[in-house]
């Protein structure tokens, strides 16, 4: 395990690992943001009005669960720290929910489709909050050095831009290639791949970072970090 030295310096591998967390975030949430509505209407066969209503309700749900998760994170005390355990346990579970969200059932009744859509999407939003909010706050627990925090956030920003660029280029071709004419299977296959990337990136971030700043020294959950990422 790489550690942060007494002078506040963060090892290079830890900076890379922290940035990889946002690679995982974007391979999951940007995929959802850019393609889920198309998937719901064109593949799952759900009416646009139902999808639009869900998106509105989900914003309210997101605003409700953010402070709840923030409070729970604040009360988390483990040998791994306050924030890293959420990556360890939350990322794999959220990855599975991402896969289930893109598991279409076009032969179901419209009511069953809407219920499945609402349940899986709301759980996905909650899961993403459980991972992204602690991840965004982890930076402040890794070091108190302002310059080192700036470098960590730079690593995160650069990694995010690269991930978004790659995702925008490869997603449609991947859906087409893996689906071989079957969009239903294509979207599910891509969701599985991106879910694995999401989990792997956060597990790597967990394994190569360390919290060294005590809770009383610096603690302010930045809910805006999670909101702006969605």
pLDDT surpasses 70 at 51: yes
Asked whether residue 51 is assigned to any structural domain, the reply reads yes
Alpha-carbon radius of gyration of the chain: 18
Q: Where residue 185 sits, what CATH number does that domain have?
A: 1.20.1250.20
- pLDDT given for residue 173 in this prediction: 97
Residue with tokens 């409070």: 71
Asked whether residue 6 is assigned to any structural domain, the reply reads no
- pLDDT given for residue 229 in this prediction: 46
Q: What is the dihedral of CA 19, 228, 122, 132, to 10 degrees?
A: 30
Kindly give the residue spans of alpha helices, DSSP state H, lying in the chain.
Answer: 12-38, 48-74, 84-101, 110-142, 146-179, 183-208, 223-229
pLDDT surpasses 50 at 225: no
Instruction: Kindly report the number of other CB atoms within 10 A of residue 176's CB atom.
Output: 14
DSSP 96-161: HHHHHHT---TTS-HHHHHHHHHHHHHHHHHHHHHHHHHHHHHHHHH---HHHHHHHHHHHHHHHH
Which two structure tokens, joined as six digits, stand for 203?
């597990």
Q: Which of 201, 222, 224 is nearest to 94 (CA)?
A: 201
User: Total structural domains in the chain?
Assistant: 1
Which two structure tokens, joined as six digits, stand for 157?
């920003």
Give mean pLDDT, residues 187-207.
Answer: 98
Please say whether the beta carbons of 160 and 23 come within 8 A.
Answer: yes
pLDDT surpasses 80 at 1: no
pLDDT in tens, 124-140: 999 999 999 999 999 99
Asked whether residue 7 is assigned to any structural domain, the reply reads no
49 strand-pairing partners: none
pLDDT surpasses 50 at 219: no
Give mean pLDDT, residues 56-64.
Answer: 92
- pLDDT given for residue 5 in this prediction: 45
Q: Which of 62, 60, 38 is nearest to 51 (CA)?
A: 38
pLDDT surpasses 50 at 120: yes
Asked whether residue 156 is assigned to any structural domain, the reply reads yes
- pLDDT given for residue 162 in this prediction: 96
Asked whether residue 174 is assigned to any structural domain, the reply reads yes
- pLDDT given for residue 215 in this prediction: 61
Q: What is the mean pLDDT of the chain?
A: 90
pLDDT in tens, 163-179: 999 999 999 999 999 99
Asked whether residue 2 is assigned to any structural domain, the reply reads no
Residue with tokens 């896969």: 99
What are φ and ψ of residue 161, in 5° steps?
A: -65, -40
Q: Which of 142, 136, 120, 188 is nearest to 21 (CA)?
A: 136
213 membership: H or E segment, kind and range: none
Distance CA 88, CA 69 (A): 15
Asked whether residue 219 is assigned to any structural domain, the reply reads yes
- pLDDT given for residue 74 in this prediction: 87
Give mean pLDDT, residues 82-96.
Answer: 97
Angle between helices 12-38 and 183-208 (to 10 degrees): 160
pLDDT surpasses 50 at 224: no
- Domain hosting 180: range is 12-229
Indicate the pTM of the whole model: 0.88
């Amino acid at each position: 395990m790489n550690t942060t030295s007494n002078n506040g310096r963060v090892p290079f591998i830890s900076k890379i690992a922290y940035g990889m967390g946002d690679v995982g975030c974007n391979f999951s949430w940007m995929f959802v943001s850019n393609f889920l509505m198309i998937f719901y209407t064109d593949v799952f066969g759900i009416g646009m009005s139902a999808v639009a209503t869900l998106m509105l309700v989900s914003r309210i749900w997101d605003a409700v669960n953010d402070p709840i998760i923030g409070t729970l994170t604040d009360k988390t005390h483990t040998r791994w720290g306050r924030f890293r355990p959420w990556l360890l346990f939350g990322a794999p579970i959220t990855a599975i929910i991402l896969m289930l969200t893109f598991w279409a059932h076009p032969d179901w009744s419209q009511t069953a489709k809407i219920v499945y859509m609402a349940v899986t999407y709301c759980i996905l939003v909650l899961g993403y909050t459980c991972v992204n909010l602690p991840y965004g706050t982890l930076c402040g627990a890794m070091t108190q050095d302002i310059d080192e925090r700036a470098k960590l956030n730079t690593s995160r920003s650069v990694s995010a831009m690269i991930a978004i660029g790659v995702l925008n280029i490869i997603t449609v071709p991947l859906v087409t290639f893996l689906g071989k004419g079957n969009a239903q299977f294509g979207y599910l296959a891509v969701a599985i791949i991106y879910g694995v990337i999401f989990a792997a990136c956060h597990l790597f971030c967990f394994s190569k970072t360390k919290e060294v700043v005590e809770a009383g020294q610096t603690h302010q959950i930045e809910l805006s970090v999670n909101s702006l990422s969605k």
